[in-house]
């Protein structure tokens, strides 16, 4: 059984790169009818935030990435880590190091002066003397002093690390007894049954150390997939301005979860030329061996295009519910179907859609000067007054076609082109020259509001 996991540290928001590795892990587990586990790595008490933990869980809920079983919290597993630290001490695979901070700093300065790699020199590796007084020891694992450590990576292929070049006897427990990252990650993955680890390639340098822990404790080493980073259009590390922001900020900006997940799955993975994937298709087609070896480029235009596609294909009832987060309440509006059908073709985000809706349902308080100058010329006011009178006299006005018929009547009787009525009417109804079809706008706001807006515009622009 394939068992994957996502293991964020609650020291900040869940960002887009972390979400992508979570998605890849989730899809691979689901494709194989395996398990996808969520572990909160909250051993850093000084930097952990309960708020950050809640934000991570909220993001998973919004995106529909349900984890299997209970969420694991490292902070509740301290006794387990202590047990394995003691086991390694008892087996002679780890030892207490009494080197003071001052001694370690001095060693590093000497090594740097000699242009050597800075590393612990192993002075307490086989120490049998009397420990110095007043020094709380750290616990170091006995790492191999020579040979190579091979990482079998499903994305990059086999990667060989020379032990003497990358390893020293690294710390697995600090002086206060708290375990270190590489130690607890290996233990947790092993005990939780994680056998396939998909994560960013910024973790690749940690992998040899984790393999040392696996082997020292007799655990099976999982299969690793190290995913290249996401870069901006300039090929540099993604910044907040580029999109490396809190995942929940995407919800606030009006992106749909299915659009964001579709966007992310294509950042570093592909299936032919296909761009649009349902969740079921992602689960069926995703395979981490197809992850690109090079960094992927974050493209906001692609995200907007995908989001527009999903908005366009979202049922109106669902859109009505989603729009309440943006202050738009349409549940009792009798023309919501006409309104949404007309506008969801034009919006890239829910936020933009809410703006388009408000521009229609809210009476304009001002008028674009250039639009007024262009539209209110010649006999524009006479045309608007004639049109308003025709509307007032009409009995049945409900559908856009009903309003369009009245416009046609005015055009024919006054022997004018549609532009002669369309331009001043658009400014009167919306305060500007752009927007959806006028017949749709009038159908949505109704006859009385249409006549009122015409009168206000004439009064404001005579």
Write the CB contacts of 459 (distance below 8 Å, at least 6 apart in sequence): none
How far is residue 184's CA from residue 258's CA, in Å, rounded to a whole number? 34
Q: Which of 76, 83, 237, 240 is catalytic?
A: 240
* Residue 224 CA, distance from chain mean position: 23
348 labelled as ligand-binding? Answer: no
Structural contact between residues 276 and 312, judged by C-beta atoms closer than 8 angstroms: no
Is residue 251 part of the annotated active site? The answer reads: no
Where residue 388 falls (left for φ over 0; alpha for ψ -120 to 50; beta otherwise) is: alpha
Question: Other C-beta atoms within 10 Å of 199: how many?
Answer: 23
Give the DSSP per-residue string, 376-436.
S-TTHHHHHHHHHHHHHH-S---SHHHHHHHHHHHHHHHT--HHHHHHHHHHHHHSSS-SS
User: Which residue from 239, 200, 238, 246 is spatially nearest to 62, judged by alpha carbons?
Assistant: 246
Question: What's the DSSP call for residue 7?
Answer: -
Run of H or E including 42: none
How far is residue 254's CA from residue 324's CA, in Å, rounded to a whole number? 11
Q: Which two tokens stand for residue 203?
A: 């973790």
**What is the Cβ-side half-sphere exposure of residue 76, based on CA atoms within 13 angstroms?**
6
User: Which residue from 417, 421, 437, 419 is spatially nearest to 386, judged by alpha carbons?
Assistant: 421
How far is residue 257's CA from residue 95's CA, in Å, rounded to a whole number? 49
User: Which residue from 234, 248, 180, 239 is spatially nearest to 209, judged by alpha carbons?
Assistant: 180
Residue with tokens 């040392």: 212
Q: Which residues are catalytic?
A: 240
Q: Which residues contribute to the annotated binding site?
A: 240
Q: Which residues contribute to the annotated binding site for ATP?
A: 240
């Amino acid at each position: 059984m394939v068992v994957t996991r996502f293991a964020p540290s609650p020291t900040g928001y869940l960002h887009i790169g972390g979400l992508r590795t979570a998605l890849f892990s989730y899809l691979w587990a689901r494709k194989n009818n395996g398990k996808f586990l969520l572990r909160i790595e909250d051993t850093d008490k000084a930097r952990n935030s309960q708020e950050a933990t809640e934000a991570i869980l909220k993001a998973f809920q919004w995106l529909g990435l349900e984890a299997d079983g209970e969420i694991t919290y490292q902070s509740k597993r301290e006794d387990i880590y202590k047990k394995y630290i003691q086991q390694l001490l008892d087996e002679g695979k780890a030892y207490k190091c009494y080197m003071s901070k001052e001694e370690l700093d001095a060693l590093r300065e000497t090594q740097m002066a000699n242009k050597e790699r800075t590393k612990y020199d192993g002075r307490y590796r086989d120490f049998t003397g009397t420990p110095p007084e007043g020094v709380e020891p750290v616990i170091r694992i006995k790492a191999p002093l020579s040979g190579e450590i091979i990482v079998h990576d499903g994305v990059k292929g086999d990667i060989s690390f020379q032990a003497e070049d990358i390893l020293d006897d690294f710390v697995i427990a600090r002086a206060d007894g708290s375990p270190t990252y590489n130690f607890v990650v290996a233990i947790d993955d092993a005990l939780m049954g994680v056998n396939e680890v998909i994560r960013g390639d910024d973790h690749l340098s940690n992998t040899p150390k984790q393999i040392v822990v696996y082997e020292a404790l007799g655990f099976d080493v999982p299969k690793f997939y190290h995913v290249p980073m996401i870069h901006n259009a300039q090929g540099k590390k993604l910044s907040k301005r580029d999109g490396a922001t809190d995942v929940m900020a995407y919800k606030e900006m009006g992106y749909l979860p299915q659009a964001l997940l579709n966007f992310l799955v294509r950042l570093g993975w592909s299936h032919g030329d296909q761009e649009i994937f349902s969740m079921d298709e992602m689960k069926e087609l995703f395979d981490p061996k197809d992850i690109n070896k090079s960094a992927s480029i974050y493209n906001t235009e692609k995200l907007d295009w995908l989001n527009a596609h999903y908005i366009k294909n979202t049922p109106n009832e669902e859109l009505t519910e989603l729009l309440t987060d943006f202050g738009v309440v349409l549940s009792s509006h009798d023309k919501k179907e006409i309104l949404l059908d007309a506008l969801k073709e034009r919006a890239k985000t829910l936020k933009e859609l809410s703006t388009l809706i408000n521009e229609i349902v809210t009476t304009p308080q001002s008028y674009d000067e250039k639009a007024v100058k262009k539209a209110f010329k010649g006999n524009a006011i006479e045309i608007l007054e004639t049109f308003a009178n025709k509307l007032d006299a009409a009995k049945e006005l409900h559908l856009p076609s009903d309003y369009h018929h009245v416009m046609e009547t005015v055009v024919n009787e006054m022997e004018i082109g549609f532009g002669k009525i369309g331009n001043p009417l658009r400014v009167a109804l919306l305060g500007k020259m752009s927007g959806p079809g006028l017949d749709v706008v009038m159908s949505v706001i109704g006859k009385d509001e249409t006549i009122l807006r015409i009168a206000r515009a004439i009064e404001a622009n005579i």
